[in-house]
């Protein structure tokens, strides 16, 4: 018996790393996000002070994991408002009825340009396009300008991409080639890419930190983000004609316990103060119009003007088959 008591005492003691946040507060809103979510502490602090709302953050993996967790828990959601479902997964979240309708007054100030559909359930918070990044120093003046250039022998063994089965930028790049060459043309393109020595790795970390010549490796062309050059001080460039548009959305969860305050948090995410710091905090572009980008971005990492895109439903219906075909084609 004494031992059983000890166990309960131990279980109770685990509270010492747990802090005190378990106590429910009347105006607490739980914000579920993907792992890459970041906000300047002072910006969040100011919102909490002026609104009287306490924001509790819960991180839930990458965009895909987040979406699936929201779908699984839609009957009893793990929060009130969610941020981070992206254009690849939006149609799954919408068709499963994860989000409730809310026409935020802030959504008409630019976010509407990237909307997922007309139902007002998801609002675009930011745009994070996936583009080829190049290391001009290593390429010595001969730079690729388009998808077509990559199959040119002068770029043989120069390109490293991520596996679309395990990496979100990898998938975006594959979708970009499908959008560009069409349902029946992309296979041929990838066959040529393979013949031209494309290297495939499992994730962005490896591709960018290990294989890319601007960091450590010897491949001068890598699939990364339009924003990445802003972190490299002008040493790298994005190839703006090889971009695929990725939009990240937020919405109030249907079944939110505190949906009134959740709406205010959504307004905050779309509002000027939050939007002004998404570039620095998350390496993405604000969805709101008229928000200035940091200085280095305008020069090194402008927003791609004409990115490729595919309708969300098409992606949802074909994704698994495309990735499987890709696997047979490139690695078979």
Residues in contact with other proteins by CB under 8 A are 3-4, 6-7, 10-11, 13-19, 21-22, 24, 30, 33, 35-38, 40-41, 56-59, 61-62, 64-65, 67-69, 71-73, 76, 78-79, 92, 163, 165-166, 200-206, 208-210, 215, 224-225, 227-228, 231-232, 280-281, 283, 319-320, 327, 331
| Nearer to other proteins among residue 31 and residue 150 (C-beta) | 31
Q: Are strands 159-162 and 123-127 parallel, antiparallel or unpaired?
A: unpaired
- Rounded CA gap, 118 and 106, in Å? 16
The nearest distance, CB 9 to other proteins, in angstroms, is 9
The nearest distance, CB 165 to other proteins, in angstroms, is 6
The nearest distance, CB 222 to other proteins, in angstroms, is 10
- Rounded CA gap, 104 and 83, in Å? 15
Pair 226, 238: CB distance under 8 Å:
yes
| Nearer to other proteins among residue 208 and residue 285 (C-beta) | 208
Pair 223, 130: CB distance under 8 Å:
yes
Enumerate residues 6+ apart whose C-beta is below 8 A from 310: 175, 178, 179
| Nearer to other proteins among residue 65 and residue 148 (C-beta) | 65
What are the DSSP calls for 190-243, one per residue? HHHHHHTT-EEESSHHHIIIIIBTTTTSSBSEEEEETTGGGGTTTS-EEEEEEE
The nearest distance, CB 250 to other proteins, in angstroms, is 16
- Rounded CA gap, 276 and 183, in Å? 38
| Nearer to other proteins among residue 200 and residue 266 (C-beta) | 200
| Nearer to other proteins among residue 111 and residue 226 (C-beta) | 226
Structure letter (DSSP) for residue 31: E
The nearest distance, CB 105 to other proteins, in angstroms, is 28
């Amino acid at each position: 018996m004494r031992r059983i008591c000890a166990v309960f005492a131990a279980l109770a003691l685990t509270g010492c790393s747990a802090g005190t946040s378990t106590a429910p507060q009347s105006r607490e809103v739980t914000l579920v996000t993907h792992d890459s979510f970041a906000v300047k502490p002072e910006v969040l602090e100011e919102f909490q002070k002026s609104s009287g709302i306490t924001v509790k953050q819960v991180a839930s993996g990458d965009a895909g994991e987040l979406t699936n967790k929201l779908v699984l828990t839609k009957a009893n959601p793990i929060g009130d408002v969610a941020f981070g479902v992206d254009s690849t997964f939006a149609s799954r979240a919408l068709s499963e009825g994860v989000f409730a309708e809310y026409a935020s007054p802030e959504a008409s100030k630019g976010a509407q340009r990237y909307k997922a559909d007309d139902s007002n359930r998801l609002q675009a918070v930011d745009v994070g396009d996936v583009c080829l990044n190049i290391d001009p120093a290593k390429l010595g003046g001969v730079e690729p300008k388009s998808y077509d250039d990559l199959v040119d022998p002068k770029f043989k063994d120069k390109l490293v991409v991520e596996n679309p089965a395990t990496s979100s930028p990898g998938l975006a790049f594959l979708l970009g080639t499908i959008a560009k060459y069409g349902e029946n043309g992309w296979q041929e393109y990838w066959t040529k890419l393979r013949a031209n020595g494309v290297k495939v790795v499992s994730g962005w970390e490896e591709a960018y930190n290990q294989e890319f010549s601007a960091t450590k490796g010897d491949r001068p062309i890598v699939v990364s983000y339009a924003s990445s050059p802003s972190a490299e001080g002008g040493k790298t460039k994005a190839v703006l004609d090889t971009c695929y548009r990725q939009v990240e959305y937020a919405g109030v969860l249907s079944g939110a316990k505190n949906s009134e305050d959740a709406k205010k948090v959504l307004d905050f995410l779309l509002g000027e103060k939050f939007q002004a710091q998404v570039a620095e905090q998350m390496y993405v572009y604000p969805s709101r119009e008229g928000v200035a980008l940091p200085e280095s971005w305008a020069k090194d990492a402008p927003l791609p003007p004409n990115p490729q895109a595919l309708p969300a439903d098409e992606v949802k219906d074909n994704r698994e088959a495309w990735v499987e075909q890709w696997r047979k084609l490139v690695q078979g």
